[in-house]
Amino acid sequence: MKLRRQGQRYDHRGMRSGARESRMEMPTSSTGSTSRLLGLQQAARYLGVSPWTVRGLEASGVIPRVLIPLPNGRELRKLLFDKADLDSLIESWKLRS
């Protein structure tokens, strides 16, 4: 059981006010729609697997990585994945009866 410090406020879920919300929410853009490109952590949550599993799937060519070119001829190093590719992967994982 967590000990509560005097003077801290908690909401109905027992979380400190001002504490970060759950990271299970889908990322949203400023317009309120969900993002098409997902980072490593977001892709892992979306698929329900660990980030290491997503890295392995990308390294083995199962999930294509989105490469964003930079002006100097290099590419953005951040791992980005297209949500449509993740949806296709989920469809391929479904059991066929």
Say what percent of the chain tops pLDDT 90.
58
Instruction: Give domain status of residue 82, yes or no.
Output: yes
- Total domains, the chain: 1
Residues in the chain: 97
* Within a domain: 1: no
Q: Kindly state the DSSP code that residue 9 receives in the 8-state scheme.
A: -
Angle at 69 between CA 42 and CA 56, to 5 degrees: 40
The domain that holds 76 is classified in CATH as: 1.10.1660
User: Does 2 map to a domain?
Assistant: no
The pLDDT tens digits for 45-79 are 999 999 999 999 999 999 999 999 999 999 999 99
Decide if 9 is inside a domain.
Answer: no
pLDDT of residue 34: 72
Assigned token pair, 67: 């490469």
Q: Is residue 58 part of a domain?
A: yes
Task: Give pLDDT tens digits for 5-17.
Answer: 566 565 555 555 5
> Buried (b) or exposed (e) across 32-69, using 16+ Cβ within 10 A?
eeeeeebbbebbbbbbeeeeeebeebbeeeebeeeeee
Is it the case that residue 33 has pLDDT exceeding 90?
no
